[in-house]
Chains A and B, each alone.
Chain A
């Protein structure tokens, strides 16, 4: 029972981790709290579902299409709304409120287009289970875990080893200096948004597959959970977001099983507030000393 729940928690947590990594990347580059992240997550899941239903069968292909579409939406969010604010040098809080507006728009557009009721998310096939010890683990869970692990590895390679990733890190550190070094900062920002949205879409589709259902409110609660995950790990830190996501997923699963399933969604906020009170910088975050 314990191991089974642990594995379930890690499966969910990995998905949170992906979304949290996207969130933390955007925060790292722009110092922007992207409140629309959860909505993009739900949008991505709906895209996958719609394309998959339309294409009849090719799940991986429809997932790919949905990821591209969501990434495009992510880039558009930046280009149409945030880019102009940056250019005007508007206060950072305007950026955050803009993402709140975008979240509202996306959520309600999804409701209008696809309805607010829960939609069944059909699995492409029955994956079957395997036994690990006395825990029954779905093969799907293992596929999800492996694919997310692969994505995180590729992403870390991309960020820490390639020139592109280094320019991303440079932009995060100091956009102006990065620009002087010949980095096209706006392109890097767009790319960050694209990656963030793509990750959210992938996680959304996986959650849809895993629960076999999606609805709009999922986006809101996932959005909050990923804040919790990112803050727990230290905002701006990619390994931190990964660990934070898994921890949130595991704690949430245990709370739902051993305490009450009603508390399932509340626990993430609880973690969030406790972390912020005790160690606002998070596990991997560095404490920033404010200079005057």
Chain B
């Protein structure tokens, strides 16, 4: 079943992407319900966030347990600049990206000395520190009260207010990021990053500057999460530290893992399934996180790489096409022999 699904994906890749894109563009015009609209935007957001974690955890292989911290940093930076200092939106967003990227850089510095678990524990600690700062630095963040009435984004006189506009803003960001990430992963740089993941010592021996690539991935992933945070803050109008709890980081990991680590399609599957599924069973809201935990446990038991993890679609496609060709040839030969 799984094999056939992947084979189908590999062969019809372009068609499926086109179909999904058309679906994504048509979707907002058919939705009347505010709640479903919110869910659609939320899904896009989670896909984008999962992509950023996937780059770090899947492509580079460095699990981060505090990834939501960057999202929080982006959200708070954008909010404080736009609300208290009247920054124009583009400047506030750029600042949010820059500040998150800076923190990502700072977090990457220990990679000089640490690897594996230690760094994972550092990311966990980092996430908690950021959350505690958000709660305790009351003069800046208003602590647990949160910040209300965040101004709506405005790009060069064009104000974004309605759900549709927010939806398309996020969709554009997502499409851009998907294209760029695919190009990055398939480029020389991407190969170097994957080599670092597979065997850092061998990669270093091949002349790959491990530290440079690790830092780069940390910075990109953090910047993406920061951008998403800025969007989130201006979209929801209200932020408080509970949106950036470690639960959310765990949820991100589950999304990335369910879809498949290191896969470019994975984040779409993981984030959409895990955003929409719990909403469909509203009675189980109380058990939501418990359910996520069970899902994570099951993934690890059944398929630790996730649905699309360790699947090379290009390879599958070529293999399938080759097999088709061969069976066609043997069929022709058979026909000739019969004649």
A residues bordering B, Cβ < 8 Å? 33, 35, 81, 84-85, 90-91, 93-94, 96-98, 100-105, 107-109, 112, 220-221, 224, 227-228, 231, 260, 262-263, 265-266, 268-270, 272-273, 276-277, 280, 290, 292
For A98, what are the chain B residues with a Cβ–Cβ distance below 8 Å?
296-297, 300-301
Query: Could you say which residues of chain B place their CB within 8 Å of the CB of A105?
Result: 290, 293-294, 297
Contact B297 A273 (CB under 8 A): no
Decide yes or no whether B201 CB sits under 8 A from chain A.
Answer: yes
Query: In the complex, what residues of A have CB within 8 A of residue B286's CB?
Result: 112
A104 near B289: Cβ-Cβ < 8 Å = yes
B binding-site residues for A, Cβ under 8 Å: 63, 65, 110, 113-114, 116-118, 120-122, 124-126, 128-129, 132-133, 135-136, 201, 246-247, 250, 253, 257, 286-287, 289-290, 292-294, 296-297, 300-301, 304
Q: What is the count of residue pairs linking A and B with beta-carbon distances less than 8 angstroms?
A: 114
Smallest Cβ-Cβ distance to A94: which chain B residue: B304
Residues of B within 8 A of A100 (CB): 65, 250, 253, 296
In the complex, chain B residues whose CB is within 8 Å of the CB of A84: 301
Contact of B132 with A266 in the complex, beta carbons under 8 Å: yes
Contacts of A90 in B (CB 8 A): 300, 304
Query: Hey, which chain A residues are within 8 Å of B63, CB to CB?
Result: 93, 96-97
Contacts of A280 in B (CB 8 A): 113-114, 118
Q: Are A101 and B287 in contact (CB under 8 A)?
A: no
Q: Which of A94, A227, A265, A292 contacts B124 (CB 8 A)?
A: A227
> In terms of DSSP, what is the predominant structure of the interface of chain B?
helix
Known: A33-B120, A96-B120, A231-B121. A263 touches B136 (CB 8 A): yes
A290 to B294: give the CA distance in the assembly, Å.
35
In contact, B293 and A276 (Cβ under 8 angstroms): no
Set A81, A220, A265, A272: member contacting B121, Cβ < 8 A: A272
Asked if A276 and B122 sit within 8 Å, CB to CB, the answer is yes
Listed by A's residue number, 30 A-B pairs whose Cβ atoms lie within 8 Å are: A33-B117, A35-B124, A81-B297, A81-B301, A85-B304, A90-B300, A90-B304, A91-B304, A94-B304, A97-B253, A101-B294, A101-B296, A101-B300, A104-B289, A104-B290, A105-B290, A105-B294, A108-B289, A108-B293, A221-B128, A227-B121, A228-B125, A231-B118, A269-B125, A269-B126, A269-B129, A270-B129, A273-B125, A276-B118, A280-B114
Question: With contacts A84-B301, A94-B300, A276-B113 known, what are 8 further pairs, Cβ within 8 A?
Answer: A85-B301, A90-B304, A97-B253, A98-B300, A102-B293, A109-B290, A112-B290, A266-B133
Contact present for A112 and B287 (CB under 8 Å): yes
Q: Are A85 and B300 in contact (CB under 8 A)?
A: yes
Closest 5 CB pairs of A and B: A104-B293, A269-B125, A101-B296, A105-B293, A262-B136
